[in-house]
């Protein structure tokens, strides 16, 4: 049985980037649960929440620039939808899993059982890692791009040829109205996280029945994901 977290040197090999400052890499892997435990033991260490804040912006500019250049004929609205479809918990946690990021996280005892595969924890850690590379490289956005884009481009390609630009709420309402006059309600049932990184949980309800659930960084994204799940439920292609 492996002892976690694995060594950061192994992660450097995996991501093909060697850090000058190992502490910033460790910081990017430190979940708040571990940080809080260490404070209780009088050995404080900073969590990755501040790096996550920066990494979110680094991620956005890299993906936005790529989409702007790649899809030169798409208008702003379609580019925004495309970016939202790939810069989301589902995609980022998948990319984190692809590099085994969960194996390197510093987690508190309460998170050890499920934290290494928790989508939100993985998403946050991935964004934090981007920020760590950015800062360690002297704010070199190209170095971060060299790491990120090979992972992200396949997801963008899938989205652009498959589901991108789909307004799932409109598709779902059209499907429902084909046989009924009922309207779907989207209820925000939970909000978590700090103000700069809120996560919204929304339920799509039809006649008080829950037909889909979704999470997102905005209520709009969460509603779209709830509608998407409902379309799957109704087997709408």
Catalytic positions: 56, 127
Instruction: Give the strands of the sheet with 199-206, arranged side by side.
Output: 185-192, 199-206, 209-216
Helix (H) or strand (E) holding 220: helix 219-233
Are 135 and 144 in contact, with CB atoms under 8 Å apart? no
- Secondary structure string (H, E, C) spanning 79-129: HHHHHHHHCCHHHHHHHHHHCCHHHHCECCHHHCCCHHHCHHHHHHHHHHH
Contact indicator for 202, 195 with CB cutoff of 8 Å: no
> What separation in angstroms does the CA of 83 have from each of 54, 68, 150, 176?
18, 10, 16, 28
């Amino acid at each position: 049985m492996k002892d976690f977290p694995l060594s950061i040197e192994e992660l450097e090999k995996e991501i093909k980037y060697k850090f000058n400052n190992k502490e910033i890499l460790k910081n990017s892997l430190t979940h708040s649960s571990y940080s809080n435990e260490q404070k209780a033991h009088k050995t404080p260490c900073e969590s990755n929440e501040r790096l996550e804040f920066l990494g979110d912006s680094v991620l956005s500019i890299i993906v936005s620039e790529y989409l702007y250049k790649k899809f030169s004929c798409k208008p702003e609205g379609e580019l925004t939808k495309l970016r939202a479809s790939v810069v989301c918990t589902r995609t980022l946690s998948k990319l984190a899993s692809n590099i085994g990021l969960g194996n390197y996280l510093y987690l508190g005892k309460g998170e050890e059982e499920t934290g290494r595969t928790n989508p939100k924890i993985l998403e946050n850690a991935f964004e934090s890692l981007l920020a760590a590379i950015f800062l360690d490289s002297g704010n070199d956005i190209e170095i971060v791009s060299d790491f990120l884009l090979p992972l992200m481009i396949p997801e963008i390609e899938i989205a652009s040829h498959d589901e991108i630009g789909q307004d799932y709420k409109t598709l779902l309402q059209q499907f429902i109205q084909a046989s009924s006059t009922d309207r779907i309600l989207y209820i925000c049932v939970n909000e978590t996280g700090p103000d700069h990184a809120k996560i919204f949980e929304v339920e799509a309800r039809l006649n008080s029945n829950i037909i889909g659930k979704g999470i997102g960084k905005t209520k709009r994204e969460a509603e779209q994901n709830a509608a998407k799940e409902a379309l799957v439920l109704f087997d709408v292609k």
